[in-house]
Amino acid sequence: MTSSELHVLSATDWDEWYGVLEGAFGGAGKGPEHREAVRGITDPGRSLAARDGKLLVGTAGSFRFDVTVPGGRSASIAGVSMVSVAATHRRRGILGSLMRRQLDDFRDAGEPLAMLTASEPAIYGRYGYGAASRFLRAEIDTARVRLGPLPDGTDAVRIRTAPPAEALTACEAVYARAVSRRPGMIARLPGWDAVQILDGDPSAPLLCVLAETDGEVTGYARYRNRAAWDASGPAGTVEVQDLHADDPASRAALWRYLFGIDLVSTLTKQSLPLDDPLLHLVSDQRRCGLRQWDGLYVRLVEAGTALTARGYTAPVDVVLEVEDEFCGWNTGRWRLSADASGAVCERTADPADLALPVRALGAAYLGGTSLTSLAAAGTVRELRPGALSAACTAFGSGPAPWYPHDF
């Protein structure tokens, strides 16, 4: 398929377009409320439709997000989503042409970075995306795992229940304060707040609790309670959808509340940062059922601009020989010089210190994948002794990158 068969989505074609997307993921969909919410947040101008004649057979969309990057800065990133190809038209290169068009469009729009979460990890490396963050899934045996010691001030935090819709504004304020604290966090775009509380599961409605300190909301958790019991005792599950807090005491008070819910023996959370404070509050990490997953995949669209947009944890002066087969404009040598005052990244004819594919730069971009480990895997090559260690330190991040915001 050639790019001439790709079109920017017309709003009137949205239902057909979304139908192809739902069909590629099995067809069940998440119900009419979810569908209308997605319609509301889709930007047709950033969405592509692939057609075979009159038949719509492929979809891809993106959102322009402000995302926290190392150094506590915010960078504009194209968040790629809604990628699908109809089952009748797979493995004919349609995804490849969608990716080609998207990255050209991002470049034309001056968007230096793209990111996505992958339905399957094997898909996007060929287009220059590198695995930049990981997260933990937890399935905690609450009969065996205790919390504590808890931080000073936990007992002073009041926990109160609130309907998710009524509490939404207060919860969003807590979320907004959390965004700048961790690379990978996405500032919420208008209209996306309501998506966070879409229910769609009558068997266990979404519930919300607020943590309050001195009368101010300092944290929240949203969860579903599937209480159950059998002859051996409590057998239910609490599924924690999201939990954010301004301070350690509010966070601990929320977890203490969730761990204490009656008729429950398992507490799950679909996504925790690799360095989540909960790991330091539990008595037994082994019984927390932790499994690691790949999270954000990052793509440097314009390598020089992208490397200038983030902060670095130590001064660095390094020449990078970048290989980029899919976006050849990035290929070549770039000198990255950074210190506390900022970063400069420009083309250079100087000899290279490190050679690496662009997906390795994407993997390292948020500070969650070390250049040293990529070098040990043979992905990064050190051409000047000492350059790898210096660059690895500079590219690192304090908090592990994480995204609690689906897109």
Ligand X SMILES: CC(=O)SCCNC(=O)CCNC(=O)[C@H](O)C(C)(C)COP(=O)(O)OP(=O)(O)OC[C@H]1O[C@@H](n2cnc3c(N)ncnc32)[C@H](O)[C@@H]1OP(=O)(O)O
- The residue from 3, 10, 11, 25 that contacts ligand X (CB under 6 A) is 25
- Please state whether the peptide bond connecting residue 277 to the residue before it is cis, i.e. omega within 30 degrees of 0: no
Q: Are 364 and 375 in contact (CB under 8 A)?
A: no
100 binds ligand X (CB under 6 A): no
* Shortest CB 41 distance to ligand X, Å: 14
Q: Which stretch binds ligand X (CB under 6 A): 90-98, 134-142, 208-216, 254-262?
A: 90-98
Q: Which stretch binds ligand X (CB under 6 A): 78-86, 104-112, 208-216, 379-387?
A: 78-86
Token pair listed for 183 = 């690379």
Among 41, 109, 123, 227, binds ligand X (CB under 6 A): 123
Q: Enumerate residues 6+ apart whose C-beta is below 8 A from 324.
A: 128, 303, 330, 331, 357, 358
Residue 358 binds ligand X, judged by CB under 6 A:
no
Are 314 and 389 within 8 A, CB to CB?
A: no
Residue placing its CB nearer to ligand X in the complex, 79 or 236: 79
Q: Contact with ligand X (CB under 6 A): which of 95, 131, 217, 319?
A: 95
Nearest Cα neighbor of 356 from 394, 330, 338 is 330
> Does 77 sit near ligand X (CB under 6 A)?
no
Which of 65, 297, 403, 407 is catalytic? The answer is 407
CA 14 vs CA 24, 136, 263, 314: distances in Å: 15, 35, 44, 47
* Nearer to ligand X (CB atom), residue 78 or residue 253: 78
* 67 neighbors 115 (Cβ within 8 angstroms): yes
Closest distance between ligand X and the C-beta of residue 135, in Å? 16
Q: Please tell me whether residue 298 binds ligand X under the rule CB under 6 A.
A: no
Active-site entry in 124, 223, 297, 403: 124
State yes or no: residue 81 binds ligand X (CB under 6 A).
yes
Q: Which of 30, 34, 35, 90 binds ligand X (CB under 6 A)?
A: 90
User: For residues 207-244, b (16+ Cβ closer than 10 Å) or e, as one string?
Assistant: bbbbbbbeeebbbbbbbbbbeeeeeeebbbbbbbbbbb
The answer to whether 373 is annotated as binding is no
Rounded to an integer, what distance in angstroms lies between the CA atom of residue 319 and that of residue 281? 43
Interaction of residue 41 with ligand X, rule CB under 6 A: no
Enter the tokens of residue 294: 């790949």
Among 6, 9, 48, 80, binds ligand X (CB under 6 A): 80
Residue 328 makes CB contacts below 8 A (sequence gap 6+) with none
Task: Note the residues at the interface with ligand X (CB under 6 A).
Answer: 24-25, 80-85, 90-96, 116, 118-120, 122-123, 126
Residues annotated in a binding site: 83-85, 91-96, 119-120
